[in-house]
Amino acid sequence: ISVRCSAFPWFGMDIGGTLVKLVYFEPKDITAEEEQEEVENLKSIRRYLTSNTAYGKTGIRDVHLELQDLTLCGRTGNLHFIRFPTHDLPAFLQMGRNKHFSSLHTTLCATGGGAYKFESDFRTMADLQLHKLDELDCLIRGVLYIDSVVSGGPSECYYFENPTDPDRCIQKPYTLENPYPLLLVNIGSGVSILAVYSESNYKRVTGTSLGGGTFLGLCCLLTGCSTFEEALEMASQGESTRVDKLVRDIYGGDYERFGLPGWAVASSFGNMMSKEKRESVSKEDLARATLVTITNNIGSITRMCALNENIERVVFVGNFLRVNTLSMKLLAYAMDYWSKGQLKALFLQHEGYFGAVGALLELLHPS
Amino acid sequence: MAECVRLDSSTSSHTMDKSITLPPDEIFRNLENAKRFAIDIGGSLTKLAYYSTVQHKVAKVRSFDHATKAASDKLYEISVQEEVTARLHFIKFENAYIETCLDFIKDHLVNTDTKVIKATGGGAHKFKELIERKLGLKVDKEDEMTCLIKGCNFVLRNIPHEAFVYAKHADSEFRFQTTQPDIFPYLLVNIGSGVSIVKVESEDKFERIGGSSIGGGTFWGLGALLTKTKRFDELLQLASKGQHTSVDMLVKDIYGGSYGSLGLTGDLIASSFGKSATADKEFSKEDMAKSLLHMISNDIGQLACLYAKLHNLSRVYFGGFFIRGHPVTMHTITYSINFFTKGEVQALFLRHEGYLGAIGAFLKGAEEDNPNQYSWGENYAGSSGLMSVSPDMNPMQRARSGTFDMLEMDRLERQLVNLPLLQDPSSYIPDTMDLTEDALAREYWLYCFEEALDGVVKRAVASQPDMPEAAQRAEKFRQKYRHKLQTLRQQPFAYGSLTVRSLLDTREHCLNEFNFPDPYSKIKQKENDMALKYYQKAVKSLEELSWEQRQFALVRVELMAFISCEHPDNSGVDIILGVMPFVRELLSRGTEVVLASNSGPALNDVTNGELQILTERIAAMDPVIQAGLREDRLMLVQSGSSSPCLDLSRLDKVLAMVVRERQTDLVIIEGMGRAIHTNYYAMLSCESLKMAVIKNSWLADRLGGKLFSVVFKYEVPAGKPSQHSAALSPL
């Protein structure tokens, strides 16, 4: 069966504006015969990737996402999920050059804007030819594939039960059996919103430039932090209501005439118009307000798209949601509250890796 | 998630500046008769509204009692009478002047029975105590959104060219919209500290369908944090000098170029502030402010489009302090709407957007006067015009501070409606030439009106020989109108599209303001008297001609009348020897004739009052006219206009009714003002005839003819069986 498949190594790559996402399939069913024939380069790459969880200063393998005993193209093995910042791509290419990656004559399937932007760098720096793929095609393919193959362990798809009650809000598995139509919201540096009617029938409804990059960018400027993790950590300790102006700050309570609850944000960063209040807020408060502002805005636009497209299920993906339970719960809340329970927010465990998975699938099953 | 309020006043610090002295005559006018006060206090500006009655001199004509032969050489007598008209005053000033203004009002408010002042706006509660103490009036708070919508409906209905499209790179940045016969439904996107999106379906039915917390407050608050710049205006100025591309991650930063398969161009912003997350460098204040401005404008535009689409609305107006008079934000919002709707929806802005809340609050308080049952008109003499205090347009003026912006609206004596015979009322544009867009024509006409000013001043003085202070008033008129012309040179968009009509109307308003209601009354009287003497002779000689000869002669006489008149149109020789024989001919053929003339004086145009008397006199010596009147086949009706030009979308309701009832099938419009400067391109649903003599060589050139060429434009609406002919021929 494996004859039809591409030769090892099997990679799928998604080069985004902020992060490079890499999936690597590690075959576990290598026969003794294969092992003998396997060139040293290939072995060393496999060993390097599977025996480490961090690469260089910034590369990280998300071990908790690893999918084991996966059968792909007749081969059994583990799927690994690795990421590093896009600005470290030159170091990655240098490594590829040092490890003579190009001698393996493999096709490197890549998606994301970087596949286009860095195509010539791949060629000149690492002697590698990229097979460029559309990022939205890959994204959808990846989502549908991962959801279909994950069985054991935590469910791939989940939602939050009781999203409007913080004490009773818990994560629950969800079965995406009959997923169409669905709204797929990919929150990377920016945001793309897709209406998906089948694996091959989808459209990009809209997008917004207020995404993960905006959160991190503003946090860096406002608090002096430098990483996503740092920004999230600060946000978790802050209080956005000191920064934002709420409906109750203006009306003393609910604005009943228009059904606006007092706790709703009337003006994001609205309190910061006042000098005294600017001087009294902490960096943590600012980080939290930035997170809440960006997240709620994505929620609003998503909700409007769901209404316009007449779709009730929304799947949020993208690396903005990585280790970001705050935003996920906010989105779950916003979808539920403003739609009066009509809309359901769904999330996926492998939030940022679907594009890369889709690229890998393209390598194995060219569409 | 969002709200509608303007800024809480605590956000901008104001020091009560009591040292300023107001030029009272100029600003709080007619306080003696003022009543029904309303106030809208925003984050930095206060808008005050009140109603006053204005005593005006009006020229009235009265027929002499001809039984007593005493004054037989004169047809009628002219008397100048005092008339009281209603006026709405709206004044906008910085919050810092509230106390001084309240003091001034208190000092000048006499014998008012006003007990309550309607208040709205975020700052209303903060100043409640001050207002109550200073004015001794009870502050009655009105819902902000309700006021806003009421005000919006009012200006959309009563002020022509209220709404405009803003295009930064076009010849003229402002493209004014014609008044729609039906203003509903529309979407109002109010960008205060947050954003409210309101769907308005009728006068009383509106709904806040959504909003966003990312609004003007976000720009201001976040901008202040990022740039350490405190003032909103300064932030906008920073933004206008910045480059967002150094802060934002563009599509080309990710793709190296465009994302072709989705049609996303390389310059599109993929991630706002995306570069400040990855690059370890300092960003300039200007660049960050610009990036923030784009982020917020795009976001608001996107949401507005999503709501417009969901509710199937195509008219979207933007307002709120984020927009107010700022070309920078109007530009970015326009860009965003264009992008997200692919040009299908245009962002609309309002000339008097800043006044909506105050107008609405005023209307709430004036419900018993029922202002909505009247038609109102913007008084160009008493209104400042668009961008009179815009920081971007006029930084010097802004720096001086204490600038007051004003809007005055006069209650029109008659209710104005569309001519029922307009082919498509929603696309009807009265004016032939838009001087806002035609720089050459603008230059020429502004020059013309300035040149003519001396003559107008002289005539104004001459019209009131027994009033010694007339010369002084005339001088004031001269200054006022000259100042208006200078303003229009700089800001042709100040009162909507600049047209020959608006220049003429502004002059009439200024003349009225200084109590020169009808500078031509005496001249008209003399001419009418003269012409009347020749009426019978003219009719007799016409009757001696054959039918065909007579038709030519009639047209010739009518047109001769135009030129033999010293001044444009419609009085003396023109009306008596031109129009009346023509009417007579129509009547004797059995045709019913509705003769419409101005309600109020404008230049030497005959007014309805004068025409009534003239017609009576003619009827006394002409049995055809007499029979026409008696049998109700000749009707004299007011047009509702007091302008040398004619706006067929603002005509007296009675005239419209008569036109409908009598099933009028031919409309004749005559004179330069009514048939050339306006209505030359007007499309009617019945046959129409537009006649004029071009008495201006520049215009003749423009139209491709010679001075004193005759325009005789006969049109039949498409689908009706008759040949179309339009002619521009020398006489």
- pLDDT on residue B115: 84
Q: From start to end of B598-724, where are the E strands?
A: 634-638, 651-652, 666-670, 687-693, 709-715
Mean pLDDT of chain B: 85
How far apart (Å, rounded) are the C-alpha atoms in residues A60 and A58?
A: 6
- pLDDT on residue B651: 92
**pLDDT band, residue B571 (cuts 50/70/90):** low
Q: Tell me the two tokens of residue B57.
A: 């001199």
How far apart (Å, rounded) are the C-alpha atoms in residues B650 and A261?
A: 45
**pLDDT band, residue B727 (cuts 50/70/90):** very low
Closest to B194 (Cβ–Cβ): which among A266, A307, A338? A266
Enter the DSSP assignment of B431.
Answer: B
- SS3 state of residue A208: strand
- pLDDT on residue B369: 78
- pLDDT on residue B72: 53
> CB pairs below 8 Å between A and B: how many?
217
Percent of chain B as helix, strand, coil, to the nearest 5: 45, 20, 35
Q: Which residues of A touch B310 (CB under 8 A)?
A: 304, 307-308
pLDDT in tens, B440-474: 999 999 999 999 999 999 999 998 988 899 999 99
| Contact between B249 and A257 using a beta-carbon 8 Å cutoff | no
CB–CB of B710/B730 below 8 Å?
A: yes
**pLDDT band, residue B563 (cuts 50/70/90):** very low
Nearest-neighbour CA in chain B from A72: distance (Å)? 29
Question: Percentage of chain A surpassing pLDDT 70?
Answer: 99
Closest to A307 (Cβ–Cβ): which among B253, B278, B310? B310
pLDDT in tens, A160-190: 999 988 899 999 999 988 889 999 999 999 9
With vertex at residue B321, the alpha carbon angle to CA B318 and CA B324, rounded to the nearest 5 degrees, is: 65
Phi, psi (degrees; rounded to nearest 5) at B172: -115, 125
Nearest-neighbour CA in chain B from A7: distance (Å)? 29
CB–CB of A123/A40 below 8 Å?
A: no
For residues A217-256, one letter each, b for 16 or more C-beta atoms within 10 angstroms of the residue's C-beta and e for the rest, the string is bbbbbbbebeebebbbebbeebebbbbbbbbbbbbeeebe
Radius of gyration of chain B (CA): 29
For residues B365-380, one letter each, b for 16 or more C-beta atoms within 10 angstroms of the residue's C-beta and e for the rest, the string is bbeeeebbebbbbbbb
User: From B231, which residue of chain A is nearest by alpha-carbon distance?
Assistant: A273
Question: Percentage of chain B surpassing pLDDT 70?
Answer: 88
| Contact between A269 and B217 using a beta-carbon 8 Å cutoff | yes
| Contact between B213 and A267 using a beta-carbon 8 Å cutoff | yes
Q: Which residues of A touch B255 (CB under 8 A)?
A: 113, 116-117
Q: Would you say residue B561 has pLDDT above 60?
A: no
Mean pLDDT across A225-245: 96
Q: Which residues of B touch A308 (CB under 8 A)?
A: 306, 309-310
Instruction: Please tell me which residue, B589 or B331, carries the higher pLDDT value.
Output: B331
- pLDDT on residue B65: 61
Name the H helices within B249-284. 251-255, 275-278
Tell me whether residue B598 is exposed, middle or buried, using C-beta atoms within 10 angstroms of its C-beta: 0 to 12, 13 to 18, 19 or more.
Answer: buried
* ipTM attached to this prediction: 0.96
Enter the DSSP assignment of B180.
Answer: P
- pLDDT on residue B582: 85
Q: Which residues of B touch A249 (CB under 8 A)?
A: 8
- pLDDT on residue B708: 83
Nearest-neighbour CA in chain B from A5: distance (Å)? 28
Taken as a whole, chain A contains a residue count of 367
**pLDDT band, residue B21 (cuts 50/70/90):** low
Q: Tell me the two tokens of residue A187.
A: 């929150």
- pLDDT on residue B401: 42
The catalytically annotated residue of A135, A156, A351, A362 is A135
User: From B255, which residue of chain A is nearest by alpha-carbon distance?
Assistant: A113
Mean pLDDT of chain A: 93
A233 catalytic, yes or no? no
- pLDDT on residue B10: 39
Closest to A209 (Cβ–Cβ): which among B8, B270, B276? B270
For B557-605, give the DSSP string.
HHHHHHHHSSSSSSSTHIIIIIIHHHHHHHHHTT--EEEEEBSS--TTP
Q: Which residues of A touch B297 (CB under 8 A)?
A: none
For residues B30-59, one letter each, b for 16 or more C-beta atoms within 10 angstroms of the residue's C-beta and e for the rest, the string is bbebbbbbbbbbbbbbbbbbbbbebebbbb
**pLDDT band, residue B66 (cuts 50/70/90):** low
How far apart (Å, rounded) are the C-alpha atoms in residues A115 and B464?
A: 84
Nearest-neighbour CA in chain A from B348: distance (Å)? 22
Q: Would you say residue B13 has pLDDT above 60?
A: no
| Contact between B215 and A267 using a beta-carbon 8 Å cutoff | yes
Mean pLDDT across A300-326: 97
User: From A20, which residue of chain B is nearest by alpha-carbon distance?
Assistant: B254
- pLDDT on residue B181: 83
How far apart (Å, rounded) are the C-alpha atoms in residues B199 and B186?
A: 6
Closest to B307 (Cβ–Cβ): which among A269, A275, A304? A304
How far apart (Å, rounded) are the C-alpha atoms in residues B69 and B61?
A: 18
Q: Tell me: cis bond preceding B601? Omega within 30 of 0 counts.
A: no
Mean pLDDT across B131-154: 93
Mean pLDDT across B650-676: 90
| Contact between B271 and A189 using a beta-carbon 8 Å cutoff | yes
Q: Of B187, B212, B264, B273, which to mutate for an interface test with A (greatest number of A Cβ within 10 Å)?
A: B273
Q: Would you say residue B62 has pLDDT above 90?
A: no
| Contact between A209 and B210 using a beta-carbon 8 Å cutoff | no
| Contact between B221 and A272 using a beta-carbon 8 Å cutoff | yes
pLDDT in tens, A193-205: 999 999 889 999 9
Tell me whether residue B89 is exposed, middle or buried, using C-beta atoms within 10 angstroms of its C-beta: 0 to 12, 13 to 18, 19 or more.
Answer: buried
Nearest-neighbour CA in chain B from A52: distance (Å)? 26
User: From B276, which residue of chain A is nearest by alpha-carbon distance?
Assistant: A217
Phi, psi (degrees; rounded to nearest 5) at B164: -145, 160
Closest to B277 (Cβ–Cβ): which among A204, A217, A245? A217
A283, A313, A272, A320: which is closest to A298 by C-alpha? Answer: A320
Closest to A296 (Cβ–Cβ): which among B1, B216, B270? B1
Mean pLDDT across B545-564: 66
- pLDDT on residue B18: 46
| Contact between A268 and B224 using a beta-carbon 8 Å cutoff | no
| Contact between A255 and B3 using a beta-carbon 8 Å cutoff | yes
Q: Tell me the two tokens of residue B415.
A: 């209710």
Q: Tell me the two tokens of residue A169.
A: 């809000």
Provide the β-strand partners of residue B607: B598
Question: Percentage of chain B surpassing pLDDT 90?
Answer: 52
Q: Which residues of B touch A123 (CB under 8 A)?
A: none
pTM of the predicted model as reported, rounded to 2 decimal places: 0.91
Closest to B295 (Cβ–Cβ): which among A209, A245, A274? A209
Q: Of A116, A133, A268, A286, which to mutate for an interface test with B (greatest number of B Cβ within 10 Å)?
A: A268
Nearest-neighbour CA in chain B from A357: distance (Å)? 20
Q: Would you say residue B392 has pLDDT above 60?
A: no
- pLDDT on residue A20: 97
Q: Which residues of B touch A268 (CB under 8 A)?
A: 194, 213-215, 217-218, 221-222
Nearest-neighbour CA in chain A from B193: distance (Å)? 6
Instruction: Please tell me which residue, B469 or B542, carries the higher pLDDT value.
Output: B469
